[in-house]
A and B are shown apart, each in its own frame.
Chain A
Amino acid sequence: MANTGTNVRLSIGLGLVLALGAVDRVAAQRVDRSASGASVSTREMLDRFCVRCHNERTRTAGLTLDTMDLAQVYGDAERWEKVVTKLRAQTMPPGGSPRPDEATYQIVASWLETEIDAVALTNPEPGRGETFHRLNRAEYHAVIRDLLAVDVDVAELLPADNTYEHGFDNNGDLLSISPDLVSRYLSAARRISRLAVGIAPVGPTVATYRVHPALLQDDRQHEGLSFGSRGGVAVNHYFPVDGEYTIKIRLHRNFSDYILGFSAPQELDVRVDGELITRFSVGDADALGQMAPLSFSGNIAGGPDWEYYMNTGDAALEVRFPMKAGRRLVGVSFVRRHAELEGALQPRNRGYGRFVDERYDDHASVEQVAIGGPYAVSGPGDTASRRAIFVCQPPVLAGGGDDEVASCARRILGRLARRAYRRPVTDDEIETLMDFFETGYESGFDDGVQFALERLLVDPDFLFRVERDPPGVAPDTPFQLSDLELASRLSFFLWSSLPDEELLALAERGQLSAPEVFEQQTRRLLADPKAHALVDNFVSQWLRLRNLDSQQRESAEYPEFDENLREAFRRETELFVASTIREDRSLLELLSANYTFVNERLARHYGIPGVYGDRFRRVVIDNDHPRGGLLGHGGLLMVTSHPNRTSPVLRGKWLLETLLGAPPPEPPPNIPGLPDRGEGGEPASVRDRLERHRANPVCASCHAPMDPLGFALENFDAIGGWRAHSEAGLPIDSSGTMPSGVQFEGPAGLRNVLLGRGHEFAGAVSEKLLAYAVGRGLEYYDRPTVRQILRDAAADDYRWSSIVLGIVKSAPFQWRRSPSAVTTQVVSATPQQ
């Protein structure tokens, strides 16, 4: 065909363009411009495959590809970008219609991109974004931690923030404020400031830590608990002041309220930071009389003393003790008895079975630990918070010295306000805080500081990241952010928190935006342990790992599921991704890694031998083993399943959305159901039924690229375990064929397909990370930026640092656009309120 010849010539020319990438952009543009045949070929392709639906008459999806001007691609970039997306994902034309070949798809998409990028490069569009960007809950938590050295349970203080369907909860548009939230901020400010300064609560309070009943307590439970311990719980608790506290423990019970394991003697230790507070000896109920039968328990009672003790024996598990203020690890655990069998020989498949188990001869286990206090307060103590706040102490108040008191307070508050507002503070602002100090000071110096701090923590300059337009900026014009704003953007991106002293000082001196300084600071922040925020806040949302907690698996299909497994899933993915960031690996290693992180529970689930104990460690995976790389992570396989079965569709959708950045369109309403049976009336597998569903062209347009991806993972059940047969008992067929004709089988085959589309995968991650970095949804005009980042990163094997640096140096991260003139006029016409 004549057409083919053109394509070949073009592909050589564009191959050159792509290879040159960032290296010689001017030359690349020249090549591009000279390739006059390109638009002809693109036109031919559109005419041949697309305009049947997308024309002036039918206007399907608002696209008139018959008349859109290929000489002015940039001028209509918004619509052309949509075309590029469809071409890249090869989701158009719909199934059943004639399609271009693989090469044509790529050539035309590349040509359109190059046309757009050539203009965008000289005329970068930064977008505007929200002027008042409220701290979200995770950021609030990190900021409080870094400002005041208190680690508060922020979920108790503030509500979760909203997200977009494919977005993140740091999107400024959605971070709105309701009256309830204002009152929560007020309340949080008071509690946090009192905690930080060390002012005792009005009265003693009780914090209760509960343990999920399906968390098995057969082994040593936590790194923070001593060797030779079994079960129990370790919690980080903040003791607000020096004083006396109580710890009260409640144990798990069975159906008929018998305390589990109380037939036999038990020893229970309470430790704080490893120090033994007390050891309880309880249990041994069988010495008190006739025991109830193990089955029929509850129907046939035991002796009265036995019954009473089995129901109430843990009431005595309470201890009162003096404790110094600060954050401490409280451990409650049983003493392991020597004859006790360990690990593999214990019955295991109990997870949710425990809810319906009438037996009471299980391991004794902790249900909740309630820490009460403070009673008999003896002082504010010497805590990290107080050391962080009180950089000076007022002179002893022996008359006079008021000036010195005020100057010390001013020093304390000025320092805190500068960090809290993330910029130099004005005298007025300090005076505002001093007014509150004066009021609080009537009760003492600490109270003065506390009240001022309470005020500071609800200041709009604290709660919002405010980005101000420079005075006199022309309307509708891009301008560069100030160094101080840039410092906040950088630290909130990488740390979800405020700038540290070094970053802030550089910004104050106006040195941060110097390219070499900025790059060096970016690398420093990325290497800091606080960059784990990227895993906690970006990765957990990008991969949907956050949904792990809400996954229900109480059904009879998965008796082996327990909370230990859920927790292990989370840790595996977090540790794995964190290691790739820390070691600055290629993004592609997220898919290709031949290693993962497991503890004993997870290793057993995965069939990895030789791993004992609760500690997670890196293990290398054999080539023929399906684990290693995100595709084998049980947690991700679980969040993409239904509670009682797998779903190739959900998994395919997830793969398209999160790993390939090409979400399928929303399904239309009133979808015809999957046929129950095959055409001959025989029972059909999900695969067969979906295949018949795809026979409908409307369905096929979404399902053809989606389902095969999901089928490749069908050997993983709804809790990520390996299986050879489906829920229906049919053998698993994990082969798939993409609309392009590419065939693959199983997780390994899928992995190769994805790695073959490594550029798209890296593109999907970059796009998500850019949206997260700038705290807004991406628009069509951000796409050239994403492609630029990718081109640059490709040269560095898509390492994390190359993506991150590409993002922070990009126009959307460093620049903003001023509002349009129309708006400005409205502003000046608005009377002052």
Chain B
Amino acid sequence: MIIKKMSLPRRMVLRGLGAAVSLPLLDAMVPALSAFSRTAANSARRFGVVYVPNGMAMEHWTPTAEGSAFSLTPILQPLASFQDQMTVVSGLRGYWTPAHAGASTTFLTGAAGVAGETAPVADTSMDQILAREWSQDTELTSLQLAIDSRANAGQCSGGHSCVYTNTICWRSRTTPLPMENNPRVVFEQMFGDSGSTDPEVRRARMLRDRSILDSVTEKVTDLRREVGHADSLKIDEYLEGVRDIERRIRRVEQQQNYDVPEVAQPEGIPATFAEHVRLMFDLQVLAHQVDLTRVSTFMLGREVSSRTYTEIGVPDAHHPLSHHEYKADKIALMAKINAYHTSLFAEYLTKLRATPDGEGSLLDNMLLLFGCGMSDSNAHSPLDLPVLLVGGCGGQLEGGRHLRYENDPLMPNLLVTLMDKLGVPVERLGKSDGRLTLGGLTGV
């Protein structure tokens, strides 16, 4: 891998136990990591999302048989060794009208955005509800990661702001969260950027930050009073951001001894797609492993992505290809991209399974939601979405099944049901209008 060849600017030791490890966590190091285990006896539940753009080659995704005796389709084949821990969910309907922008926006919010050049609106996304609920226990509320940069012009969809296609995470109805694509920045979000290996330096840094934040809070509060409610949205966001960091500082002060392997900071965005994806997955493994956060979301591509995949023999741009006009050769290429994505996802799952967490592994405690908010990309269809659940969710989720729902229940109904499983029941999510039955394990 190229990243091995990169010069590593500095090494961070955060209260290291054991061996030095450099990112990405190569397969060879997984045994080294097994030496760690979190001290907490009871394991927490975790939530992870992996979003893939531009719909799915459905004929190569959906298993024919339902129930437990289903055989894997070409796109699901890379996940073979996880079959007993996964549930393929068919028949769900996305709540959206505008293509692409709606697909990404509703995936976790269950609500569609609005067209035109107005302030973006959707609804709080599922991951953020969990993040808020669990934030008392972890330093970071959540991680939002992506592969694509946001720096592009005019390549969005349906007259919607590009924000709808660039993110799936919404902190509130009106605050979309940016998804970070630079591994170095993610690393700094996780471990700080004090540039020092000394915990004392980091603590001193936090004290300085706190004094700045206190002072800023005062000023923002004044400003807020001055301008009145109608105009205060942006400044409220700022205040909320400040409070989030303050919360994190308090958290670090309270709990000073978590164990982190010695990790070298990644330098920037790797040269190839696969390396980039692996590194982002590794960062997520690490974040869960040291319990920095329990919620992570990841977009393998922004919605309407036009990436080409020459490395697997697909020189066509993804989005134009997804309008395949139902031609078998084009659908086959599309399926190739889809299977490439699941194969990278499988590598992530392998690492999660190999990383101990509490009584079991990270995979045992985690609930992973993989899929897309659009099924047939040629028709921009919101019906029969490609959705996959993996992981044990702390014993709450039984795997090895293909569930098909009749009468097109809404995707957010699944999200509400999953919230039950994750122990954070909610009345509704976006436009949800009920709950689903997940095989033997009905929503609580």
Contact = CB atoms under 8 A, between A and B. Distances in A.
Do A and B make up one complex? yes
A134 B234 contact: yes
A299 interface: no
Contact of A163 (B161, B180, B195, B381): B161
Contact of B152 (A183, A201, A546, A556): A546
B166 A162 contact: yes
Contacts of A826: 229-230
A208 B267 contact: yes
Interface stretch (A74-82, A170-178, A495-503, A602-610): A170-178
B7 A671 contact: no
Interface stretch (A285-293, A518-526, A547-555, A572-580): A547-555
B120 A173 contact: yes
Contact of A174 (B161, B189, B215, B229): B161
B268 A179 contact: no
* Interface residues on chain B, size class: 35 or more
A591 to B, nearest CB: 20
Interface stretch (A54-62, A460-468, A737-745): A460-468
Interface residues of A, number: 92
Given A460-B235, A830-B229, A178 B171 contact: yes
B344 to A, nearest CB: 19
Interface stretch (B217-225, B364-372, B424-432): B217-225
Given A163-B162, A555-B310, A826-B230, A460 B99 contact: no
Given A202-B195, A823-B228, A823-B229, A459 B245 contact: no
A203 B195 contact: yes
B182 to A, nearest CB: 8
Given A669-B99, A824-B228, A554 B308 contact: yes
Interface stretch (A114-122, A383-391, A450-458, A793-801): A450-458
A673 B326 CA distance: 8
Contacts of A40: none
Contact of A181 (B98, B119, B166, B178): B178
A182 interface: yes
A132 B230 CA distance: 11
Interface string A184-200: 10110100000000000
Given A552-B307, A666-B157, A824-B228, A176 B245 contact: no
Contacts of B175: 176, 178
A206 B99 CA distance: 44
Contacts of B194: 202
Interface string A800-813: 00000000000000
A647 B231 CA distance: 44
Interface stretch (A14-22, A233-241, A432-440): A432-440
Interface in B16-54: none
Interface stretch (B86-94, B236-244, B391-399): B236-244
B158 interface: yes
Contacts of B141: 179
A173 B99 contact: no
A180 B153 contact: no
B356 interface: no
Contacts of B228: 819, 823-824, 827, 830
A546 B154 CA distance: 10
Nearest to A827: B228
A208 B268 contact: yes
Given A642-B320, A823-B230, A547 B215 contact: no
Interface string B139-159: 001001000011111111111
B116 A777 contact: yes
A757 interface: no
18 contacts: A130-B234, A131-B227, A132-B238, A165-B157, A171-B117, A206-B10, A370-B7, A436-B211, A436-B215, A454-B212, A455-B212, A464-B234, A468-B226, A642-B320, A644-B317, A670-B379, A776-B117, A824-B230
Given A163-B161, A165-B160, 6 more contacts: A160-B150, A167-B161, A182-B241, A205-B9, A643-B316, A670-B381
